[in-house]
Amino acid sequence: MSEASLSDNVLATGSLSEELRALLPQTKEGLKLDFSEKIEKSVVVLLHQAREFFYEEKKKECLKTSEIIRDYSWEKLNTGTWRDVDKEWRRVYSYGCLLKALCMCLKTDDIAEAIRVCDMGLLMGASILGNILVKVINVLQKHLQHGKRPSEARIEELRKKKIKSDHTLAPAVKFGTAVPLLHCPSLEFFRKNYLIPQKPVILEGIANHWPCMKKWSLDYIQEIAGCRTVPVEIGSKYTDEEWSQSLMTVNEFINKYIVNKNDIGYLAQHQLFDQIPELKQDICIPDYCCLGNGEEEDITINAWFGPAGTISPLHQDPQQNFLVQVLGRKYIQLYSPQESESLYPHETQLLHNTSQVDVENPNLIRFPKFTKASYQSCILNPGQILFIPVKYWHYVRALDISFSVSFWWS
**Strand-pair category, 181-183 with 385-388:** unpaired
Mean pLDDT throughout 349-377?
Answer: 94
Most confident of 138-147, 347-356, 374-383: 374-383
More confident residue, 309 or 334: 334
Does 290 lie in the same domain as 404?
yes
Angle at 258 between CA 208 and CA 164, to 5 degrees: 60
Question: Could you tell me if residue 173 is inside a domain?
Answer: no
Mean pLDDT of 315-331: 97
Per the structure, the count of domains in the chain is: 2
Alpha carbons 132 and 274: distance in angstroms, whole number: 12
Does 267 lie in the same domain as 123? Answer: no
150 occurs within a structural domain: no
One-letter amino acid at 26 equals: Q
What is the CA angle 209-214-218, rounded to 5? 145
Residue 113 pLDDT > 70: yes
Strand ranges for 126-279 from DSSP E:
181-183, 201-204, 229-234, 244-249, 265-270
DSSP state for residue 178 in the 8-state scheme: B
pLDDT tens sequence across 28-64: 988 989 999 999 999 999 999 999 999 998 989 999 9
Residue 119 belongs to a domain: yes
Domain boundary among 144, 169, 201: 144
Q: Who contacts 99 (Cβ-Cβ below 8 Å, separation ≥6)?
A: 50, 51, 54, 62, 65, 66, 69
* Mean pLDDT score of the chain: 88
Range of the domain at 308: 181-409
User: What gap in Å lies between CA 32 and CA 29, rounded to an integer?
Assistant: 6
Nearest to 319 by CA among 298, 342, 336: 298
The domain boundary, picked from 118, 144, 170, lies at 144
**Residue 152 lies inside a defined structural domain of this protein:** no
DSSP 109: -
Range of weakest confidence among 13-22, 30-39, 222-231: 13-22
Do 103 and 191 lie in one domain? The reply is no
Find the largest Cα–Cα distance for the chain: 77
| Chain mean position to CA 331 | 21
Band of residue 108 on the pLDDT scale cut at 50, 70, 90: low
**pLDDT of 165-204, one tens digit each?**
546 678 888 888 999 999 999 999 999 999 999 999 999 9
Q: Is residue 163 included in any domain, yes or no?
A: no
User: Which distant-in-sequence residues (6+ apart) come within 8 Å of 348 by Cβ?
Assistant: none
DSSP 260: S
Whether 197 maps to a domain, the answer reads yes
